[in-house]
Structure 1
Amino acid sequence: MEIIQASTSHIPTIQDIAIKSWEITYADILSREQMNYMIEMMYSTSALKKQMTEQNHHFLLIKNESSSDFQGFISYEFNYKNQPNTKIHKLYLLPECKGKGMGRILIDKVATLAQSERNNSLSLNMNRDNKSIGFYNQMGFEIVGEEDNDIGSGYLMEDYILEKKI
């Protein structure tokens, strides 16, 4: 597997992976209107640029050796809310790449980076209806809470809060 640190020049690649992933992941959970709203809110060029340059979100891209294109990404933030915790903001793989170990590799890489920053846990939010909960449980994450976030236009993100000690 090849993993690289993404830069703003990789925004079109991140957008492409996100859109293809969202179609499968959220089709049975969110309305088309809410998906479009959230994709624009989180994955527009200006939103991703702001995440990378102002909000201290780091992005990694992954591909296997037989591919010329990246097949997934993860974004994370060290010392989230001034705590020794690394927040995983996004983790998406192309649908055909799920089950091949890429998600595990990306989380393990972020855990190693987090430890080098003296962070002792990873956390993430995930939609309570997302079928990936089993994957995160296998990775050692536990549900530590729930929260509903108003994201505007009458939409809520209804999430579990997951955490893993590292």
Structure 2
Amino acid sequence: MQDLIGLTPVTTPENEERLAALAREIWEGYWPPLIGEDQTRYMVENFQSLDAIRRDIAEHAYEYWFVCAADDGRIVGYTGGRVEPETNRFFISKIYLKPEERGKHFASAIVRFYTELCRSRGLDAMYLTVNKGNVLGIRAYEGNGFSTIDAVETDIGSGFVMDDYIMEKRVG
């Protein structure tokens, strides 16, 4: 079966700017009902902004990709993460799709991409965090072989907390 997506690495300052704009668009369109307007703004500024993206790449070896539909090349979302040598896993920090692109199996295609990436790099597993209220995300990850291995509440500053499940998929 032909894959549904193509992935374009984010490797230029111009693409980093496009990524930050896309992140803001997706976050402002999805997260306020789940975590509120204030926390959405805070998280965009601290974790999805141009400065945050550049910091992640420079200081934490993050890799980012635009997710493009294979049929016409339109950008449907973005993804990113980094290898954790100490655990021999890939941390998937971000899988975000535009609202009109959800439910089209793009997330499954992204997981297949990461499965192959992990195998090619000799990693044992991949993992991610997902908001406990993100029922659609949890269902998608479970359907793609992830299982919940922990639950965490992380203080991210300014009185905000991320209330997440940690989900992992072994790739061996």
Q: Output aligned runs, 1:79-90, within 5 Å.
A: 80=84, 82-90=86-94
Q: Which range moved further: 131-140 or 99-108?
A: 99-108
Q: Output aligned runs, 1:5-44, within 5 Å.
A: 5-7=9-11, 8-44=13-49
CA shift, 1:84, in A, is 1.1
Taking the aligned partners of 1:3 and 1:92, their CA distance within structure 2 comes to 13
Task: Give 1:163's match in structure 2, choosing from 163, 168, 172.
Answer: 168
CA RMSD of aligned residues (A): 1.6
CA shift, 1:22, in A, is 1.8
- SS for the counterpart of 1:82 is coil
CA shift, 1:23, in A, is 2.9
Cα deviation code 1:30-85 (max 9, x no counterpart): 1211110110001221111111122111112121245454221110211x261111
The answer to whether the 8 A contact 1:149-1:157 is kept is: yes
Task: Give 1:106's match in structure 2, choosing from 100, 110, 117.
Answer: 110
Q: Output aligned runs, 1:24-103, within 5 Å.
A: 24-67=29-72, 69-78=74-83, 80=84, 82-103=86-107
Q: Which range moved further: 5-14 or 146-155?
A: 5-14
Is 1:116 the counterpart of 2:125? The answer is no
The answer to whether the 8 A contact 1:74-1:90 is kept is: yes
Unaligned 5+ runs, structure 2: none
The answer to whether the 8 A contact 2:23-2:49 is kept is: no
Unaligned 5+ runs, structure 1: none
Cα deviation code 1:59-118 (max 9, x no counterpart): 12121245454221110211x261111110000011111122221111211111111111
Identity score, percent: 24
CA shift, 1:15, in A, is 2.1
Is 1:3 the counterpart of 2:12? The answer is no
Taking the aligned partners of 2:126 and 2:30, their CA distance within structure 1 comes to 22
How many residues in Structure 1 have an aligned counterpart in Structure 2? 165
Q: What TM-score, normalized to structure 1?
A: 0.91
Q: What TM-score, normalized to structure 2?
A: 0.88
What is the identity, as a one-letter code, of the residue corresponding to 1:115?
R
Is 1:154 the counterpart of 2:159? The answer is yes
Q: Which range moved further: 9-18 or 28-37?
A: 9-18
